[in-house]
């Protein structure tokens, strides 16, 4: 297929499915914690705006949660179908870690998800809040185990190789491997930021259309406080993560920097833009800042960063890809920090909800967190190549014995089915976002019954007919007046 070998197609297929999947857990993690905060604030203050926002976002959470579960199952099966040699070699480590995720996180989420989604008028407020918190905790525990497994593949330790298979000898070392704390903090924070900008963009869309309600203002304000406070923290976490990567995966850092040669003996410059050419072994058309690479990556002005030519050709990651994916991630992070600072200035001026340039900026920043996550994930995983378990097992040795034709066919089927199924799910979520929070939802203690008007508890019943722009025509006119 297009001259690609079976290994290439297996990697593309896994990259495609994980790119779809990672979006859903990221939003699920952020929304679960956001819902816990909203319900806690409602119980504490009694302000109905928090309750209305809870009922709005819980529907979106439910749909997103379902798509995350489905896409995650497909990925789990791919370990056996496309990467059976890897599963045979390292399954004694990755298998239990994924099983712990199911036993601790998924069961916790499943146990309380029903109460969270359908128990608003069936259990007491304390128990319902507890259920929401448990679901939020479950998403974070799930993140813990998934990142533990993936981080072990990046920086493996706590094992022995016996008869060609990995045997864990120290589970504490396996879980808390050198890169795990940094990657866990980086990913969890990224999920919170991605959700904040998704929420903020939703509010900005309504505010731009004249729906200036307390719910929209609260939603917008909370999202931007998160951006202001957390985006700079994420930059600091990223710096620590980079230092850790430099120590344990120097080839990845060299590829990210597009840095080829240290023969000059000079400190490493920071290449802002350029085109790393893997064949010519140089970065073409580069724009660089002297000394800045050493300053950022080693926190000194005299140390050098490892260069790609210090590694054998077969051990080098694809610098062309990771050079740019890393810069996309950093660009999104800088724009997030800008959004937070800009929002603080507008708050001081009293025009946070009326500045149309800023509202449009936040609207376009809606997918920025997800773009940053995908770019960061590409940087991490492609930068690990050619290893599936870094320094231990090559990716080429972990693939199943399938033909290129078989993998090409299944890849095409994945693309068609994923865009159809998850495209429909994404479209439905956008309908819910366009509808917006319903004021007073949750007031009725005895909903339903023959002939009784009610708000459905089922997420798929929430987006009623008429979710077009005319739904809030009166509110739009009132907002403009």
Question: Coil, strand or helix: which one is 373?
Answer: helix
pTM recorded for the entire structure:
0.87
Which residue matches tokens 């479950």? 138
Q: Is the pLDDT of residue 462 over 80?
A: no
Q: Is residue 445 situated within a structural domain?
A: no
Do residue 227 and residue 326 come from a single domain?
yes
**Under 8 Å between Cβ of 9 and 407:** yes
Same domain, 252 and 354: yes
Do 276 and 207 reside in the same domain of the chain? yes
Q: What three-state secondary structure class fits 303? A: coil
Q: How many helices (H) and strands (E) does the chain have?
A: 16, 6
* Judgement on whether residues 375 and 318 belong to the same structural domain of the protein: yes
Q: pLDDT above 70 covers what percent of the chain?
A: 91
List helix spans (H) across 209-316: 214-248, 250-257, 292-298
Q: Is residue 470 part of a domain?
A: no
Is there a single domain that holds both residue 69 and residue 105? Answer: yes
Would residue 70 count as lying in a domain?
Answer: yes
Q: Is residue 117 part of a domain?
A: yes
In a domain, 344, yes or no: yes
Q: How far apart are CA 431 and CA 468, in angstroms?
A: 8
| pLDDT-based confidence at residue 442 (cuts at 50, 70, 90) | low
Judgement on whether residues 332 and 210 belong to the same structural domain of the protein = yes
Q: CA angle, 229 as apex, 227 and 230 as ends, to 5°?
A: 70
Q: Are residues 173 and 233 in the same domain?
A: no
Please say whether the beta carbons of 393 and 89 come within 8 A: yes
Tell me, what DSSP letter sits at residue 451? Answer: T
Does residue 455 lie in a domain region? no
Provide the b/e sequence for 262-290 (b: ≥16 CB within 10 Å).
beeeebbbbbeebebeeeeebbeeeebee
269 and 122 part of one domain:
no
Residue with more model confidence, 58 or 70 = 58
In the numeric block, which tokens belong to residue 48? 């109905």
Q: Quick check: is 205 in a domain?
A: yes
CA distance 56 to 49: 11
Per-residue pLDDT at 458 exceeds 70:
no
Same domain, 50 and 126: yes
Domain count, the chain: 2
- Average predicted confidence (pLDDT) for the chain: 87
Q: Same domain, yes or no, for 61 and 107?
A: yes
Residue 425: inside a domain: yes
pLDDT at 348 over 90: yes
Q: Domain of residue 341: give its range.
A: 195-401
Nearest CA to 435 out of 197, 195, 209 is that of 209
Phi/psi-derived region of residue 276, left when phi > 0, alpha when psi is between -120 and 50, beta in every other case = beta
Residues 368 and 420 in one domain: no
Domain check: are 26 and 103 in the same one? yes
The answer, yes or no, to whether residue 383 has pLDDT greater than 90, is yes
pLDDT at 315: 92
Residue 307 contacts residue 239 (beta carbons within 8 Å)? no
If you ran DSSP here, which 8-state letter would residue 272 be given?
Answer: E
Q: Identify the band that residue 466 occupies on the pLDDT scale cut at 50, 70 and 90.
A: very low
Question: What pLDDT is recorded for position 436?
Answer: 82
């Amino acid at each position: 297929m297009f001259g690609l070998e079976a290994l290439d197609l297996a990697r593309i297929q896994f990259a495609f499915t994980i790119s779809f999947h990672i979006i859903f857990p990221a939003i699920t993690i952020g929304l679960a914690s956001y819902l816990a905060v909203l319900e806690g604030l409602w119980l504490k203050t009694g302000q109905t705006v928090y309750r209305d926002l809870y009922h709005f976002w819980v529907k979106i959470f439910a749909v997103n949660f379902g798509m995350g579960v489905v896409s995650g199952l497909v990925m789990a099966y791919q370990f056996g179908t496309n990467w059976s040699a890897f599963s045979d070699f390292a399954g004694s480590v990755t298998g239990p870690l994924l099983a712990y995720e199911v036993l601790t996180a998924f069961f916790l989420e499943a146990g309380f998800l029903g109460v969270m989604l359908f128990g608003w008028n069936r259990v007491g407020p304390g128990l319902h809040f507890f259920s929401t918190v448990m679901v939020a905790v479950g998403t974070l525990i799930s993140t813990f185990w998934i990142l533990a497994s993936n981080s072990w593949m990046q920086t493996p330790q706590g094992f022995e190789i016996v008869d060609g298979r990995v045997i864990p000898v120290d589970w504490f070392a396996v879980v808390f491997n050198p890169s795990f704390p940094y990657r866990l903090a980086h990913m969890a924070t990224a999920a919170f930021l991605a959700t904040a900008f998704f929420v903020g963009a939703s509010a900005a869309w309504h505010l731009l259309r004249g729906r200036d309600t307390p719910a929209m203002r609260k939603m917008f304000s909370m999202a931007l406080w998160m951006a202001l406070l957390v985006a700079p923290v994420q930059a600091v976490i990223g710096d620590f993560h980079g230092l850790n990567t430099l120590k344990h995966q120097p080839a990845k850092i060299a590829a990210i920097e597009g840095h080829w040669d240290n023969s000059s003996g000079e400190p490493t410059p920071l290449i802002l833009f350029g085109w790393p050419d893997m064949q010519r072994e140089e970065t073409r058309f580069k724009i660089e800042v002297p000394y800045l690479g050493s300053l950022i990556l080693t926190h000194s002005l005299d140390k050098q960063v490892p260069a790609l030519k210090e590694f054998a050709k077969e051990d080098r990651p694809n610098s062309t890809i990771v050079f740019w994916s890393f810069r996309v991630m950093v660009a999104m992070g800088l724009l997030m920090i800008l959004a937070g600072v800009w929002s603080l200035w507008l708050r001081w001026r009293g025009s946070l909800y009326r500045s149309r340039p800023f509202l449009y900026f936040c609207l376009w920043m809606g997918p920025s967190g997800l773009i940053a996550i995908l770019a960061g994930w590409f940087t991490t995983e492609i930068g690990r190549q050619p290893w599936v378990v870094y320094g231990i097992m090559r990716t080429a040795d972990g693939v199943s014995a399938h033909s290129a034709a078989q993998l090409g066919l299944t890849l095409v089927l994945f693309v068609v089915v994923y865009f159809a199924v998850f495209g429909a799910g994404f479209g439905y979520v956008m309908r819910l976002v366009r509808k917006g929070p319903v004021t007073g939802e949750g007031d009725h203690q005895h909903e339903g019954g023959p002939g009784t008007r009610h708000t459905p508890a089922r997420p798929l019943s929430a987006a009623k007919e008429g979710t077009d722009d005319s739904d809030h025509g009166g509110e739009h006119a009132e907002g403009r007046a």
